[in-house]
Each structure stands twice: as structure tokens, then as C-alpha cells.
Structure 1
Amino acid sequence: MTGDREEQAVRAVQRMQDYIARHLQEPMTMRQLATVACYSPYHCARVFRELTGVPPFEYIRRMRLTQSAIVLRDVEKRVLDVALDFVFDSHEGFTRAFSREFGVTPKQYAKKPRPVQFFLPYGVAFRYLYTKYKESFMEKTHEKTCVIFAQVVERPARKLILKRGEKADNYFQYCEEVGCDVWGMLVSIKEALHEPAGIWLPAAMRAGGSEYVQGVEVPHSYDGDIPEGFDIIDLPPCRMMVFQGEPYDDITFGNAIDSMQKHLKTFRPELYGYTWDGNHPRFQLEPQGWRGYIELWPVREVQKD
């Protein structure tokens, strides 16, 4: 697919993804998805698989299993009730599907949640923009002025569960080295203190790996499972200056991030009684247009004479 046909297909599959997300707890048919996509059922199924990598009903099943796992992790509810809520016909069928997906039965998982690989697919519109605008995001300078809100927060001693890359110093390089499915594992960690983040590590914390990693903070007392291929490190207490940009249209996410990062390169925390603290990690939250782009930079108070 090229040009207008490719963009039309991306929009159609994104509409299907949005519809699926809204109706996970309802029966769905191929005809319903085709109506949303404005394609024939056959073409709808073909283009969905081509752009997401999985057939529509496998996608739906895995989405339902992930959402059911979140319910079992966070809410006291009978396994059968959760199975029926997510349109599984029986306790047995749900248990088989859940066990194949996560390697643990729903009953065991509800009793003792552990990190598992959630199915959290990107919207195809984001992937399309990611591919189309990666070079401009990495290379171009945007002059748009952005409104930024800043505040200082305290972070106590805690731990960081992370997956390292090799030489990556930004998101795009990290995805090429590690892949883009790390988030699904991080989101599953029940004890997380905050949402997962992209993180720039100071040299002392890199252990021969990449500067840029993805991870999630957990309590300093955390003694749960560490997913295979992940590390856990101690983070000492620190102060973080939180920078939040203005909301933006998701289609311009690259410009929003670039504009913020360009501004932060010239930001002077000394005007507010702080200086940058290079002994702690810097955090990048998941870009979401409705809330604006957010980064957290470590600071320390300027010592007064």
C-alpha cells in the first residue's frame, strides 16, 4: 500500500482498534468491524492483520485477557464473573486461554499477581506516524513556542525495575535494540508506584548498558518477581522538577516532544533556587496528547553562601 490508500487503511484499522477497545465486554462480529472500517469483511480482516500483525479475533481475545488480568489483579472478584464479563463462555475456557497467554491460571494470578506480558498494542495510527516522522523527529528543529508548567516533587528511596538496551540514548534507538513490547510487562507490575517511563540513566547506573531504558518504580521494600531479562536497581531519594507541556493533537506528537526538549536544554533552574543533579535518572512519561508531554528532571537546591 502506498500514499492515500495506505493512509485510508491506517484510518480504517485505527477505527476498528478504537471500536474494540470500547466494546471489549460485548460480543463482536466481523460484520460490525467491517461496518466501522467501511470495508468488506474479507478486506477488513486482511488489512487488520497486515497492519497489526494479528487477526482481528486473536487481537480481541488477547485484549480481553489482558483487561481481565488487570481486574483480577486489582479487584476482588470471582474468576467466573470476570470470565463472563469479558465474553468467555465458561470458567474452563477462560482458564485455558488465560493460562496459555500468561503461563499462570487466573485463580493463581488473582491470589498472587506476578509480572506477566500484557497485550498492549500500539494504535496503528501511532505506528504509522512513528515511521513517517521518525527522521524529522530526530533531526529537525521546530520553532514553535510551548507553554510549560513546572513544579518540584520529592521522590523517596525506591527501586527501579528496568530493561536495558545496548547503546540507545533515545526512544527510537531503544525500540530498535529491544523492541516496543516492554511496556506490557511493566504495566502488569501491581506494586508500581507510578506509571512506566522512558528513563535516561546517569553513567553510574548503566552497568555497561544503554543510557536510555524503560522501567517502572516500585517500593524500596519490593521483593517480588523480576521478569526475565529485566534488572532491578536502587534509586536514592531525590527532588524532581516536573515539566508538563500544553495538550497537543496526537498527530503532532513529534513536534510536541521536540519543542519541549529544545526548551529544556536552555532552561535555567537556578532562577528558582535549583541546579541540575546528574546523579539521578531523568524520566520521560508516555506521550499522551490530552495531558501534554511530561518529563521529570532531577534537581538539588543551590547552596547559599
Structure 2
Amino acid sequence: MHAWEEIQKTIDYIEEHLSEEIRIEDLAKLASLSQFYFQRLFSRLVKRPVNEYIKLRRLAEASAALKDSDKRILDIALDCGFSYHETLTRAFKEAFGMTPEEYRVNPVRLNHFIKPQLLFNYTLVDEEVPLISDGIVLEITRKKMSRCQYFIGLDVEEPIKQMPGGGETGIDTLGTLWDNFHKEKSTIEG
């Protein structure tokens, strides 16, 4: 078995136990690695330290609960593995720039740190050769445009790291742009 497969096992375990206490010793044991090597390999493959990954995944769960339920914020904090209301509030503000209370009153699209599938990082896709994975067909084809094409609409700049799945948290500006486009498209000429 490859080392990344062992790390993927721990990622899957974390996802199933987000509301519980998760100890690095237990994750390292699950991966059959020393704690030192497990943490080093996890950080290298996931691009985040283990505890930060757990916190960001819990925040993703909490933001979904804030948006989709009327539960008290304390109950959401406890359900998502945070010890106290204040712990959730501090982490939420640090990650998204607003408190859970502010988010609940004015929900916006957020960039969450999504669960990685490490297998995708190690799959080679050749040009003109379809790859079928989890029911999705990927095929890379280069096309050369014969003439320039121009588009009109709304625009926004977004750094690669800030894009959904890019690793950074915060407000999802591309999602917000998309929402604004649909609100305003009937007023855009041409």
C-alpha cells in the first residue's frame, strides 16, 4: 500500500468522527506510522497540519448547520466538535472574517477547506485519453482558436489560493459573482 493511501484512511476517519475528540496518536496508529512521520506526511499531502485540517473541516460542517438549521450556536459548536461557543466563534471569525451570528443573519458563500481525495493528486491524465473516475469522465483536449472571442458580463479577480478547493477560507467571491450575474443578467446589454 502507498503512503498516501494510509493518509487517505485517516482523512476518511476524521470525516466520520468530526464531532468527537480526534487524537493524533490514534490517527498515526491507524496509518501504521510514527506520530512524527504521520504529521509530516499528512502536512505534505494535505497542505495543512492535522489539527488545522480538523478545525477547517469542523468549520465547514458548522457553517452548513448555521445556514440550514435554527439550532443554537452552542449546540452547533458541540455537534461539530468544538468545546465551547467561544471556540467556534473565534475560529469562524479567523477563517471567514465574520462571527457565526453575523453569518447566520447575512449568509454569504464561503470557501471551505474541502475533504481531499489524494488519489486524484496521483492520477495521470493523458491528452485525448479519457479517464473515468467515480462516474466522472475527464478528457483533456487542446484546441487552437482560429479567431479571438470576446465575452461581456461581470468580473472579479480571485487569487488561485482563494478559489474554492484552493486551500484558503473566506468569502467565496467567485460564487458571489455568479449569484450577482444571475441577478443582473437581464439588465446587461448584448
TM exceeds 0.5? yes
Structure 2: which 5+ runs fail to align? Answer: 136-152
Say whether residues 1:182 and 2:171 are aligned partners: no
Say whether residues 1:140 and 2:129 are aligned partners: yes
% identical aligned pairs: 30
Structure with larger RCO (C-alpha < 8 A, sep 6+): 2
The total of aligned residue pairs comes to 161
Give the ranges of 4+ consecutive aligned residues of structure 1 lying more than 3 Å apart after TM superposition.
160-165, 177-181, 233-236
- Higher Rg: 1
Contact 1:162-1:230 within 8 A present in 2 as well: no
Instruction: Write 1 or 2 for the structure with the bigger share of helix.
Output: 2
- TM-align CA RMSD: 3.4
Instruction: Tell me how far 1:121 sits from its aligned partner.
Output: 3.9
The one-letter amino acid of 1:182's match is P
Contact 1:10-1:128 within 8 A present in 2 as well: no
Instruction: Write 1 or 2 for the structure with the bigger share of strand.
Output: 1
Instruction: Tell me how far 1:66 sits from its aligned partner.
Output: 0.9
* Structure 2 match to 1:9: 3
Structure 1: which 5+ runs fail to align? Answer: 1-6, 147-159, 166-176, 190-214, 217-225, 237-305
Instruction: Tell me how far 1:140 sits from its aligned partner.
Output: 2.7
Q: 1:118 aligns with which of 99, 112, 117?
A: 112
Structure 1 Cα separation of the partners of residues 121 and 7 of structure 2: 12
Task: Assess, with a 3 A threshold, how the Cα gap between structure 1 residues 141 and 86 changes in structure 2: closer, same or farther.
Answer: closer
How is 1:267-286 mapped onto 2 (pairs within 5 angstroms)? Answer: none
Say whether residues 1:49 and 2:19 are aligned partners: no
Structure 2 Cα separation of the partners of residues 98 and 87 of structure 1: 13
Contact 2:11-2:115 within 8 A present in 1 as well: no
Deviations 1:130-159 (A, max 9, x none): xxx12x1x23368xxx9xxxxxxxxxxxxx
Structure 2 Cα separation of the partners of residues 163 and 12 of structure 1: 39
Task: Assess, with a 3 A threshold, how the Cα gap between structure 1 residues 36 and 96 changes in structure 2: closer, same or farther.
Answer: same
